[in-house]
Structure 1
Amino acid sequence: MKFRAKITSKSFLELFIQVSGTVAKLAKVCVLRVCPDRLSFCPTGLPGETQLWGEVRRGVFRHFCMEGFSKEFNEIYLELMSEHLARAVRNAGNALSLKLQLTNKLRPCLTVVIELASCPGHTRAMVHDLPVKVLPRKWWKECTEPQVLACDVSVYLPSLKTLKNIVERMANVGDRVLVEANLNGKMNLSIETDVVAIKSYFKNLGNPPKAVLDMTQDKDPEKMVQVRVDNRKLLLFFEGQQINPTMALCNILSSTLLHLVLVHDDISLQYFIPAS
């Protein structure tokens, strides 16, 4: 098995730093899934738990070369500590390049090489060897992308900063927050206890075209679809995410799942919070 990839674009370097930092905030241990067209940060939790799925597509990399387990199973699965990767790439914002490579230094490692400008005409390199576990194929099925049934509603998210402030206030009131949205671009967040009730309203957010097209004739676009989730898990998402997405979506499977999606160029993050 072989893997080597290199990022030279400053904007893509910053995005990779941000997504690595987000993964570290939301998952202590992750599996880096190396495919011919992308890298994926895979969940390691049990079904029914909050899960993260991140993807960095091949377009981010100037060079990308890999040989997987076999021609038939052309993938590599590397288990590593998320924080180790985040720390290694944290200071690469002003670097000339960032290289990732699967190496064997007494044990399998993901070697991170950051090339920095030194005196004129010279460069220096910072090298981090991150221990990894190469997962055998029999474990791959444990690291597949979470499957989501067709959602009942999909709506664009308002400002993530605004949402974070609201969820922080609600976290001081109760343990569970009710998230609801409809196909007319409306979304509400609310929390209620015996003492106090808080509700925030958003309108004119818009719905993805596919969500509107899939709407059946007898479906009321004003009907709110609801899911109640653990407030701490929702807050963890808003505190942990570091990318500035060009598209942010909230998908709701009624009373079952809150599915949040952030996309920026060739990078995407998905967060799955089951109903509580």
Structure 2
Amino acid sequence: MRFRAKVVSIDCIHHFTNVVNTISKLLKKCTLRLTLDKMYFILPDQVSNGGVSMWCELKQANFFDEYQMDGASKEHNEIYLEIVAENICRALKSAQNAKSLKIKLTKKQTPCLTFEVELPSIASNSRLVTHDIPVSVIPRRLWGEYEEQEMPDFHVSICMPPMKTLKNIAERLKNLSTYLTIAANQDGDMTMKVETELVSATTRFQHLEVPPVTSTDEETQSKDWPQNEFASARVDIRKFLQFLAGQQINPYKVICSKCFDGVAEL
């Protein structure tokens, strides 16, 4: 197996760093999947245990000036690596003013993802900083555990308010309860509610954007759900705040899709 990639654009380095920083705020270990045209950061389905699953997909052409990859075999031309996301963040900290960034799969005492950061220098020769990050190669027989999860049919899909606004509200509500109920309908209404034996507090949003239904959504969106009917999901406030605090890619739109049985997709 071989992998080698190079980034020259400082804007691409910064954007890639922001993506990895966001991922590291959500999880400790993740799976890095490498294909010829895409790079994936995956956390397998943990919802059944009350956890979070994640699927992050990056087109390599949007980030890398050079990209070469030879996978496990010609039939299965992919590479799966288990890696600690925070270690990638530490390596990328030294690349914020880099002339270039190289990433390659190497074999030291253990398999490593090596980051070579070329830094500008007053002298004629550039400085080179190298970070070796240990990885575990995932065997082919386990690849099926890292396929993209099929989302359940959802009843409501809505564009959420700004992340900063949600974070400020959730910070206050966490002092009242451990769990938060998020509800929305297709009229653009959304509520955030906590309820205990002693207190009930609700924040309401109106006139939010409702994303248009695409051909893909038509396969997963319930067609019998009344437009003004609310669908709700009950989430752990701490995990919801962890998601909000980790956003460093400044998304212009965050869509939340909810099922009546309490499942939420962000």
TM-score, normalization by structure 1: 0.88
CA distance in 2, matches of 1:55, 1:148: 16
Candidates 139, 144, 157, aligned match of 1:136: 139
Q: Deviation per CA, 1:93-123: give whole Å up to 9, x if none.
A: 2212222110111221000111111116532
CA distance in 1, matches of 2:259, 2:11: 35
Number of equivalent positions: 260
Could you tell me the percent identity over the aligned residues? 38
Structure 2 matches for 1:240-255, cutoff 5 A?
Answer: 240-255=246-261
CA distance in 2, matches of 1:75, 1:195: 54
Candidates 65, 70, 74, aligned match of 2:68: 65
How far residue 133 of structure 1 moved from its aligned partner, in angstroms, is: 0.7
Give the partner amino acid of 2:37. D
Q: 8 Å contact 1:154–1:211 — kept in the other structure?
A: no
CA distance in 2, matches of 1:80, 1:217: 41
How far residue 64 of structure 1 moved from its aligned partner, in angstroms, is: 1.2
Q: Indicate the RMSD between aligned Cα atoms, in angstroms.
A: 2.0
CA distance in 1, matches of 2:54, 2:223: 34
Give the partner amino acid of 2:257. N
Q: 8 Å contact 2:194–2:200 — kept in the other structure?
A: yes
Q: 8 Å contact 1:33–1:76 — kept in the other structure?
A: yes
Matched, 1:256 2:259: no
Aligned position for 1:53: 55
Matched, 1:168 2:174: no
Aligned position for 1:274: none
Runs (4+) of structure 1 exceeding 3 A deviation are 44-47, 211-219
CA distance in 1, matches of 2:260, 2:36: 36
Alignment CA distance shift 1:185-1:105 (3 Å): same
CA distance in 2, matches of 1:138, 1:216: 35
Matched, 1:119 2:122: yes
Q: 8 Å contact 1:111–1:127 — kept in the other structure?
A: yes
Matched, 1:29 2:35: no
CA distance in 2, matches of 1:218, 1:52: 29
Extract unaligned runs of 5+ from structure 1. Answer: 261-276
Matched, 1:234 2:236: no
Q: 8 Å contact 2:155–2:225 — kept in the other structure?
A: no
Aligned position for 1:147: 150
CA distance in 2, matches of 1:218, 1:175: 33
Aligned position for 2:13: 13
Q: 8 Å contact 2:170–2:237 — kept in the other structure?
A: yes
CA distance in 2, matches of 1:197, 1:126: 54
Aligned position for 2:92: 89
Give the partner amino acid of 1:256. G
Partner SS for 1:247: coil
Structure 2 matches for 1:179-198, cutoff 5 A?
Answer: 179-198=182-201
Q: Deviation per CA, 1:127-170: give whole Å up to 9, x if none.
A: 10001111101111222222212321111121101111111111
CA distance in 2, matches of 1:6, 1:242: 23
Q: Deviation per CA, 1:62-116: give whole Å up to 9, x if none.
A: 1111111112111100111111111111232221222211011122100011111
Extract unaligned runs of 5+ from structure 2. Answer: none
Give the partner amino acid of 2:4. R
Q: 8 Å contact 1:3–1:66 — kept in the other structure?
A: yes
CA distance in 2, matches of 1:80, 1:240: 19
Alignment CA distance shift 1:164-1:217 (3 Å): closer
Further displaced range: 135-144 or 207-216: 207-216
Alignment CA distance shift 1:257-1:36 (3 Å): same
Alignment CA distance shift 1:91-1:157 (3 Å): farther
Partner SS for 1:241: coil
Q: Which has the higher strand share?
A: 1
Alignment CA distance shift 1:9-1:157 (3 Å): farther
Partner SS for 1:209: coil
Q: 8 Å contact 1:29–1:44 — kept in the other structure?
A: no
